[in-house]
Amino acid sequence: MSALAQLKRHLRPGQVYRRKDLARWSNAVDRHVRQLVDEGRLEKVSAGVYMAPRKTRFGVAPAKPEKLVETFLGDDRFLLVSPNAFNGLGVGTTQLHNEPVVYNRKRHGRFKLDGRTYDFRMRPAVPRRLSKEVLLVDLLHNIDRLPEDKAAILPRALARAGEMDRGRLARAVKEYGSARAERLLASVLQPA
């Protein structure tokens, strides 16, 4: 069996691979990757990142964003957040956003993966899942980036913080918050 055929055997539709992953199964990875891209067996989604297309009756399905980001980072310690989630806090945000934010420990900047732009932001610690407390802390940290009226959103966000579990909110501020979020929530987190 040829080395290219050996590599093809390892490809799974819908999976995302780094070049170094493919190098394990090839003796001429760059040449083989180029051939597979030309054949349509692989698609380049970013520098050094490739996807084996998964065909559906509607055409080629995009890779799952979580799988794309995990492969791009080479790490599963990240949190993928849509700023649209702020709308669920009930503080008056209504804008729809098209650029997901990826909190992680490795990369910072805006990167295009499979035709979609992701805003990567480095943090020393990244929560495993998104809670309403972490989301509120994130909103306060990013309040200047929001297209809404900051003067209208801030009092509502602080009022909402007063309704949340004080211990979980304090933990979210300590572990994932910025100095700005800590300062804004200081009055809410004061012992009663």
Q: Are residues 119 and 126 in contact, defined by beta-carbon separation less than 8 angstroms?
A: no
pLDDT in tens, 21-30: 999 988 889 9
Bridge partners of 98? none
Given a cut of 80, is residue 1 above it in pLDDT?
Answer: no
Same-domain status, 22 and 81: no
Do 40 and 77 belong to one domain?
no
Does 104 share its domain with 154? yes
| Count: domains in the chain | 2
Statement to judge: residues 29 and 77 lie in one domain: no
pLDDT of residue 68: 93
- Classify the phi-psi angles of 44: left when phi > 0, otherwise alpha if psi is within -120 to 50, otherwise beta: beta
Instruction: Tell me, yes or no, whether 109 and 45 share the same domain.
Output: no
Same domain, 84 and 155: yes
The pLDDT value given to residue 144? 86
Same domain, yes or no: 103 and 86: yes
Query: Which residues, including other chains, have CB under 8 Å from residue 29's CB and lie 6 or more apart?
Result: 19, 22, 23
Please tell me whether residues 78 and 40 are part of one structural domain.
no
Same domain, 77 and 91: yes
Neighbours of 97 (CB within 10 A): 17
- pLDDT, tens digit (0-9, with 9 covering 90-100), for 80-133: 988 888 888 988 888 877 889 999 999 999 999 988 999 999 988 888 888 999
Say what the pTM is: 0.80
Q: Tell me the pLDDT band of 36, cut-offs 50, 70 and 90.
A: very high
| Pair 51, 84 in one domain | no
Same domain, 55 and 73: no
Give the model's confidence band at 6: pLDDT under 50 very low, under 70 low, under 90 confident, else very high: confident
Give the pLDDT score at 70: 95
Flag whether pLDDT at 137 surpasses 70.
yes
The whole domain housing 45 covers 3-61
pLDDT for position 5: 86
Which of 61, 77, 98 represents a domain boundary (last residue)?
Answer: 61
In sequence order, the β-bridge partners of residue 55 are: 60
Residue where a domain terminates, one of 12, 32, 61? 61
Are 91 and 165 within one domain?
Answer: yes
Q: Which of 57, 79, 62 is nearest to 116 (CA)?
A: 62
Whole-number mean pLDDT of the chain? 89
Quote the pLDDT of residue 95: 80
Give pLDDT, residue 124: 86
pLDDT in tens, 50-77: 999 998 899 888 888 999 999 999 999 9
Whether pLDDT at 192 is above 70:
no
pLDDT of residue 67: 93
- The whole-number pLDDT of residue 107 equals 94
